[in-house]
Amino acid sequence: MEEEKEELQYHHTMPIQLRWNDVDRFGHVNNEVYFSFYDLGKSQYFAHVCPHVNWRNYGIVAVHVQADFLSQIYETDHIAVQTAVTEIGNKSFHLSQRVIDLDTGEVKCKGMSVMVTYDLIAHESMPLKQEWIEAICRFEGKDVRRNQRKPLEL
């Protein structure tokens, strides 16, 4: 896990509907399923923060993921996935996500991904567009660009 010097603020929280089939032989939600929560949180984050983008033309794919499984999730738990963009580089950006218990606030799983944007028409990776970067920084309430040559008007 990346060290977090200050507590990360999550501005995007999405309640998750658990499915009967999410539970494995051990009676709790299988680890693999957590990544479908992260995928859903990620897609809803970008649909919300960059609503004018045609997401049929662009894919946001993970090149690296890591996750700490801190506590089991049971079928009757009320959980949500939280998503934040924490760092935007030239060719990739970092996404922090976690799964929380909505009743207790307990963090069930903490994850970080390195993502790249992909042009599905041209079939090649591409940097985040300037307007997306601005929308993300506005949503996060801070300038999350790694190289901040020029100030960003939020």
Instruction: List the one residue from 2, 4, 19, 126 that touches its own copies (CB under 8 A).
Output: 19
| Cα–Cα distance measured from residue 69 to residue 73, given in angstroms and rounded to the nearest whole number | 10
| Cα–Cα distance measured from residue 87 to residue 128, given in angstroms and rounded to the nearest whole number | 12
Query: Any residues with CB less than 8 A from the CB of 108 and at least 6 apart, and which?
Result: 69, 70, 71, 72, 73, 77, 79, 98, 99, 100, 101
Q: State yes or no: residue 17 binds its own copies (CB under 8 A).
A: yes
Q: State yes or no: residue 57 binds its own copies (CB under 8 A).
A: no
Structural tokens at position 136: 């993300």
Q: State yes or no: residue 129 binds its own copies (CB under 8 A).
A: no
Q: State yes or no: residue 131 binds its own copies (CB under 8 A).
A: no
Q: State yes or no: residue 43 binds its own copies (CB under 8 A).
A: yes
CB of 141 to its own copies, least distance (A): 26
Residues that bind its own copies (CB under 8 A): 1, 16-17, 19-21, 23-27, 30-32, 35-36, 39-40, 42-43, 59, 61-70, 120
